Amino acid sequence: MMRTAISILQKDLRMEFRSKESILAMWIFSLLIFVIFNFTFEVSRLVMLEIAPGLLWVAFVFSGMFGLNQSFALEKENGNLRAMALMPVDGGEIYVGKFFSVTLIMLMFEALIFPIFIIFYDLQLSLGMFRLIPVLLAGTIGFTSLGTILSAVAVHTRNQQILLSLLLWPLVSPIIIWSVTLTGMILSGEVTEAFYPLLLRVGAFDVIFFTLSYMLFDFILED
């Protein structure tokens, strides 16, 4: 049933592993964000600890735009978008395939940039950091579930890149707010009892955004 989704996912991942275009661009861009941040805000270590979670998510979100933009721009290049629209499958399946490829690429990038983040900002590694995994997962899925459908919307415009940011950022702000809060709890080592309900809430909104996009994706493909 999900064969189309799986083929799209395989194709996207194969392309990414061969060219490494998205991940590399995202990684370098994040590095640049850290560097620029260091020059623009000279802060003490104490303040740094407070703003680190925000900085991490700024890097994720800004760099994530690369992956999202790329995802459909590549399809458009050789008229593949049109071919996809003509495929006799449910649009939702194409969404699922694209969603997973974008999400996996972004998660890999996050895994690669996180050690750099730890080193640059001299954060203490601890076992509690494992709790970051579900947080990054939930936050990233929220970002990419809306991002995938809006990227498919924006790809039809002339100013694809700016428009995707304009559409996506206000809509995804709840996910980012919560992810930053959760990340902050972990990095500061003060995981309160509010942690798991909040994480669950992000997960719940991920499901809402995903389902909504899945249902609406058909309308985006048709002419």
Partner 1 sequence: MRSKIDKILLIILLIAFSVSIYLIFQWVPQIKASNPAEQIAQRIFYFHVPSAWLGFLAFFVVFCASIAYLATRDRKYELISVASAEIGVLFISLVLITGPIWAKPVWGIWWTWDVRLTSSLILWLIYVAFLMLRRYLPDGSKRANLSAVVGIIGFIDVPIVYYSIRWWETQHPKAVMASSEGSLAAPMFFAFMFSLATFTLLYVYLIRKRYQLLTLEDTLNKQFKEMEIL
Contact status: 158 vs partner 1 (CB under 8 A): yes
Contact status: 106 vs partner 1 (CB under 8 A): no
- H or E element: which one contains 18? helix 3-19
Task: Indicate which single residue of 7, 124, 126, 173 sits in contact with partner 1 (rule: CB under 8 A).
Answer: 173
The encoded tokens of residue 73 equal 């721009």
Contact status: 213 vs partner 1 (CB under 8 A): yes
Question: Mask: binding to partner 1, 111-140, rule CB under 8 A, as x and -?
Answer: ------------------------------
Query: In the complex with partner 1, which residue's Cβ is closer, 122 or 190?
Result: 190
Query: In the complex with partner 1, which residue's Cβ is closer, 19 or 173?
Result: 173
Contact status: 73 vs partner 1 (CB under 8 A): no
Report the candidate in 8, 25, 101 with the shortest Cα–Cα distance to residue 59. 25
Contact status: 200 vs partner 1 (CB under 8 A): no
How many whole angstroms separate alpha carbon 96 and alpha carbon 86? 17
Sign of CA dihedral 112, 117, 119, 123: negative
Contact status: 161 vs partner 1 (CB under 8 A): no
Contact, 15 vs 75, CB < 8 A? no
The encoded tokens of residue 35 equal 């560097």
| Integer angstrom CA distances of residue 221 from 34, 129, 162 | 38, 41, 21
Contact status: 193 vs partner 1 (CB under 8 A): no
Give Cα 10 distance to the centre of its chain: 19
Contact status: 156 vs partner 1 (CB under 8 A): yes
Report the candidate in 123, 144, 184 with the shortest Cα–Cα distance to residue 64. 144
- CB of 13 vs partner 1, minimal distance in Å: 27
Contact, 114 vs 137, CB < 8 A? no
Query: In the complex with partner 1, which residue's Cβ is closer, 33 or 180?
Result: 180
**Span interacting with partner 1, options 4-12, 25-33, 34-42, 171-179, rule CB under 8 A:** 171-179
Contact status: 154 vs partner 1 (CB under 8 A): yes
Query: In the complex with partner 1, which residue's Cβ is closer, 32 or 171?
Result: 171
Contact, 57 vs 176, CB < 8 A? yes
Binding residues vs partner 1 (CB under 8 A) = 146, 149-150, 153-154, 156-159, 163, 166-167, 169-171, 173-175, 177-178, 181, 198, 205, 208, 212-213, 216, 219-220, 222-223
